[in-house]
Homo-oligomer: A and B are copies of this chain.
Amino acid sequence: MNTKRPHRPLTLRDVSEASGVSEMTVSRVLRNRGDVSAATREKVLTAARTLGYVPNKIAGGLASQRVNLVAVVIPSLSNMVFPDVLGGISAELDDTGLQPVVGVTNYSPPREDTVLYDMLSWRPSGVILAGLEHSKAARAMLDHAGLPVVEIMDIDGEPIDCAVGISHRRAGAEMAEEILNAGYRRIGFIGTHMPEDHRARKRLAGFEERLAEAGITLAAREYYQGNSSLLKGRELTERILTREPDLDFLYYSNDMIGSGGLLWCMEQGYDIPGKLGLAGFNGVELLDGLPMRLTTTDARRIDIGRRAARIVAGKEPPPEDGVIALAPTFLSGDTIRHR
């Protein structure tokens, strides 16, 4: 493969020689820097184009000590939630000359360390990373890197530099509040068994706290391993309702399993939201097309991406106290009683 295309990568010097203009001026033209006469500009551009020159950012970055990359470190891509965050980030970065580069940790702290290390070794202009919980090593790296760090999604904790997100405790508490107000009392929880999913943990903590204030404890809980899928939602819903048939509400740790549960319950003929209420978390687009609208909380994913990107890009000053708190938004849907 590729043996018939033995082209040596072109350099500035090649363009310089082809156009009869000094390397420095060629460089200026290619970066739109400094004043260059229209005539030489044309010569250079033509030469570059006909040769098919592509600048070498490795060399450029080393010389200028600046790299137009923003490292984005997230736990997962299959989650349906991170593409939205990324969307917000790219949209906001689009006119800044900065480029997002994505690293995925799979919710593994050692993997996060590796990914961070690798990304920092490219000397990016900034870092956006999910969550507030990081290894000592990771914090050390970020401290030494001397670049803007924005932690996203979560604000319940101490940011390294600054954080943009929602309070998951609050999201959980507010959902509990709504459920209690609607009159449900025998409440079950279905969530992933991931010690490293701190946001899910905090949501549940906030949820249970609010229940406790009303003198209520979770009547049942069910955990699963691996990816969230409709199928998992079905299976766990069946399991929890078989075990505890008199539950009147199920709180799911995300919309995907919540949707699976909703579909299963509808097939079984449960009276929703009359006898059984359901709620998820995230506010994903999928919910728009289901037979009933699952009650959920909008996690403000796109806004989070945008604000984080704005800060890294310097479009917006970092917050005084280091925290931008967005409000999780309750979406009542059809699967909770309206009073």
Contact = CB atoms under 8 A, between A and B. Distances in A.
Given A52-B144, A144-B54, A260-B289, A86 B90 contact: no
Nearest to A6: B146
A134 interface: no
Interface stretch (A16-24, A57-65, A202-210, A212-220): A57-65
A148 interface: yes
10 contacts: A6-B146, A7-B145, A8-B146, A58-B58, A90-B104, A229-B289, A230-B286, A230-B289, A232-B289, A259-B289
Interface residues of A, number: 66
Interface in A271-328: 285-286, 288-291, 311, 317-318, 322
Contact of A87 (B78, B117, B260, B267): B78
A118 B58 CA distance: 12
A34 interface: no
A246 interface: no
Interface in A212-250: 227, 229-234
Count of this chain's copies in the oligomeric assembly: 2
Interface in A105-141: 117-118, 120-123, 140-141
Contacts of A333: none
A67 interface: yes
A180 interface: no
Contacts of A289: 229-234, 259-260, 263
A148 B104 contact: no
Contact of A56 (B87, B121, B149): B121
